[in-house]
Amino acid sequence: MKNIQTREELIRTYIDFFKRRGHKEIPNASLVPENDPTVLFTTAGMHPLISYILGQPHPLGKRLCNVQKCLRTGDINLVGTDGFHLTFFEMLGQWSLGDYFKKEALEMAFEFLTKELKISVNKLAVTCFEGDKDAPKDEESAKIWHSLGIPKTKIFFLGKEDNWWGPAGLIGPCGPDTEVYYYTGRDIPKGNPSANKKWAEIWNAGVFIEYNKTKEGTLEKLKQKNVDTGMGVERTLAVLQGKDSVYDTHVFFPIIKKIEELSGKEYGKSKKETESIRILADHLKAATFILSDGVIPSNVGRGYVLRRLIRRSIRHGRLIGIEKEFTEDVAGVVISIYPDYKELEENKKIILGELEKEEQKFLRTLYSGIKEFNKMIKTHKKISGKDAFLLF
């Protein structure tokens, strides 16, 4: 495999590869979507491009690429329990807006993986859409993958839950996708990626956006066929560096070292403590980036998501023995890892100030709640529904 040491090197390798194939680089957009009221945060690189996917001409043409910061809470219960799920992550992507489609997209994907990154085809498997009442089985993608060198035994068909993308909100562009998995096990690659946890998804190599979901819930054909892709920076780094998880790469390990220092606990020693350390690192990284885009903690919308991430990280800090305030210390390390995101340094004072305020507010609530709980069990011996609601 190619010896790539940093996220910056991986991002540049990807962008340069697609630039050589006629793609223009577009800016990294805010985590707060500008033109999509159906979602709270930018969950994929295609959010700023929705109007162009629907047919409006893009000023830079039909072939685009970039790296995009993203935030997803759909898998929040998996964060920390394995080595590959994150709330905040960076996504490499390239788009065809009514230009090339399946054949060219998958040829470029295969070339990038096997020639540019030098990943062995023996370690790869792919999944394609199995079809349903709304859209047909994606036999075309499977045939293309096979012609490129993926054996039929490593091509799997899965349903909408796994191989259909979008819309990002309730309505909008969507379509079948085909995903690339890398086998992280030390044994011979085997099993279905949907059932064997040793397979890690590294690239949604082609979301073939040819439908638009209407408010009535029906799918209508778009004026043009589009390609949208998404490759996780953290996951791909872990694969290229032979790490067992994204938390072992340089985009997380300095944060984990700081948490070890604050807690006195050793990462990797205890399953429960390791999960808490991962959750804390992930959530405070996500909170730092959300704050840098102008969102502040509140009880509604984006602010509520932010508040929950901060408070969940504080709770896990307590579980691993951190008694003093610590969110600012961890956020400072996050900011140092990403010097290319100027908004982090520019808004550092605001980020640290909001974290300090939220941590102090939550600790007051937590201590008064514990005091109230102790009073309840002393007086009543059991907690009523009304008491439980008050504590919540």
pLDDT at 34: 84
Q: What are the structural domains of the chain? A: 7-240 (3.30.930.10), 252-380 (no CATH)
Q: Using 50, 70 and 90 to split pLDDT, how confident is the model at 378?
A: confident
* Euclidean distance between CA atoms 301 and 281, whole angstroms: 23
**For residue 167, what pLDDT is reported?**
82
For residue 47, name the pLDDT band (cuts at 50, 70, 90): confident
With 80 as the cut, is the pLDDT of residue 35 above it? no
- The predicted-structure confidence for 248-306, as pLDDT tens digits, reads as follows 999 999 999 999 999 999 999 999 999 999 999 999 999 999 999 999 999 999 999 99
Would the pLDDT of 380 be above 80? no
Q: How far is Cα 267 from Cα 274, in angstroms, rounded to an integer?
A: 5
How many other C-beta atoms lie within 10 A of the C-beta of residue 262?
A: 18
What Cα–Cα distance (Å) separates residue 148 from each residue in 84, 95, 101, 131, 244?
A: 27, 21, 16, 22, 28
Mind listing the pLDDT tens digit for each residue in 185-230?
Answer: 889 988 889 888 899 999 999 999 999 998 888 899 998 999 999 9
How far is it, in rounded angstroms, from Cα 159 to Cα 243? 30
Is the confidence at residue 77, as pLDDT, over 90?
Answer: no
Query: What are the pLDDT digits (tens) for 111-163?
Result: 999 999 999 999 999 999 999 988 999 999 999 999 999 999 999 999 999 99
Q: What is the pLDDT of residue 365?
A: 87
